[in-house]
């Protein structure tokens, strides 16, 4: 083996120590960079997930805002009669279930369960043997309520709020609007009732055969 002088040995030790220090520093720097990169990836992932959740929440909130709610009154052969709040497009069968289901003896031969309910509608589920003065619910009339005199039409220029409420899909609020409207502008034709807020073409189609202006 070659022999080194004491100075050479010291020089070699110093150089070796410097190399070890430099390599250690580089290794530490690389480790810190790797940790920083990993932290940034985690931070980006968390932010991305948070943005997705926020976006989903806003979308769901927008859908809720777009949903139209109807208020209906169900009575007769159901377990829990009363007022229900349902979404637009709800079928009569769903309303019966929301009211606790049918009572024993309910007669669905007079009811169209596939019918979509209307806002402010009064729904009567009959018992077997019960006599109704209207056609089966959901065929041509929206409710099983009657107009005075069976086939007698309701004069929308003279009828009381109670008489107006007997019309399919006409509740207390809409009946009051009809009375307020005719006070300042009497109806000249049955089609004029569509000038009342809340009565569109669909609701008019449901009541046009039951109303008159004469």
DSSP 161-199: HHHHHTSTT--HHHHHHHHHHHHHS--SSGGGGGGSTT-
Residue 55 lies in a domain: no
Q: Within a domain: residue 106?
A: yes
Question: What pLDDT, on a 0 to 100 scale, did the predictor assign at position 150?
Answer: 44
Q: Is residue 22 part of a domain?
A: no
- Same structural domain for residues 207 and 159? yes
Segment 113-138 shows an average pLDDT of: 75
What's the pLDDT score for residue 180? 92
* pLDDT in the model for residue 143: 41
DSSP state string for 73-113: EEEESBSS-EEEEEETT-BHHHHHHHTTSBPTTB-GGGB-T
Shared domain check, 162 and 119: no
> In this structure, are 115 and 158 located in the same domain?
no
Give yes or no for residue 29 having a pLDDT over 80.
no
- Does the structure show a pLDDT above 70 at 209? yes
Any idea which of 6-15, 142-151, 177-186, 193-202 has the lowest mean pLDDT? 142-151
Residue 190 domain flag = yes
- If we measure between CA atoms, which residue out of 85, 68, 48, 171 comes closest to residue 121? 171
Q: Is 155 helix (H, G, I), strand (E, B) or coil?
A: strand
Q: What is the CATH number of the domain that holds 76?
A: 3.10.20
pLDDT in tens, 44-98: 666 666 666 666 766 666 555 566 888 898 988 899 988 899 998 899 999 999 9
Same domain, 77 and 120: yes
Q: What is the CATH number of the domain that holds 162?
A: 1.10.150.320
Per the CB < 8 A criterion, the answer to whether 77 and 127 are in contact is: yes
Same domain, 164 and 208: yes
In this structure, is residue 134 part of a structural domain? Answer: no
Dist. CA 162–CA 172, nearest whole Å: 8
Range of the domain at 192: 154-212
Which of 108, 125, 142 is the last residue before a domain boundary? 125
Q: Which two tokens stand for residue 62?
A: 């927008």
Q: Among 79-83, 137-141, 184-188, which is the least confidently predicted range?
A: 137-141
Rg (CA), the chain: 38
pTM listed for this prediction: 0.38
Residues 6+ apart with CB under 8 A from 206: 118, 141, 142, 168, 169
* Closest of 114, 108, 206 to residue 154, by C-alpha: 206
Tokens at residue 160, please? 């009381």
In a domain, 95, yes or no: yes
Highest mean pLDDT among 147-151, 189-193, 196-200: 189-193
Six-digit token string for 190: 């049955």
Q: Please check whether residue 114 lies inside any domain of the structure.
A: yes
- Residue 198 φ/ψ, nearest 5 degrees: 100, -10
Judge whether 50 lies within some domain.
Answer: no
Confidence of residue 146 (pLDDT cuts 50, 70, 90): very low
Does residue 204 sit in helix, strand or coil?
A: helix
Number of domains present in the structure of the chain: 2
């Amino acid at each position: 083996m070659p022999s080194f002088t004491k100075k050479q040995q010291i020089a070699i030790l110093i150089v070796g120590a410097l190399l070890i220090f430099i390599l250690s520093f580089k290794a530490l720097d690389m480790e810190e960079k790797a940790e920083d990169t990993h932290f940034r990836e985690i931070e980006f992932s968390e932010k991305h997930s948070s943005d997705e959740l926020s976006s989903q929440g806003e979308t769901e909130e927008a859908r809720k805002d777009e949903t139209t709610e109807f208020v209906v009154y169900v009575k007769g052969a159901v377990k829990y009669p009363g007022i229900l709040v349902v979404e637009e497009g709800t079928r009569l069968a769903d309303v019966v279930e929301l009211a606790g289901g049918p009572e024993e003896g309910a007669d669905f031969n007079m009811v169209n369960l596939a019918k979509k309910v209307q806002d402010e509608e009064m729904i009567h589920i009959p018992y077997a043997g019960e006599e109704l003065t209207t056609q089966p619910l959901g065929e041509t009339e929206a409710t099983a309520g009657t107009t005075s005199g069976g086939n007698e039409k309701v004069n929308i220029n003279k009828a009381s709020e109670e008489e107006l409420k007997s019309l399919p899909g006409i509740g207390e609020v809409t009946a009051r609007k009809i009375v307020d409207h005719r006070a300042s502008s009497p109806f000249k034709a049955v089609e004029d009732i569509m000038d009342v807020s809340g009565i569109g073409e669909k609701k008019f189609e449901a009541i046009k055969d039951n109303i008159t202006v004469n």
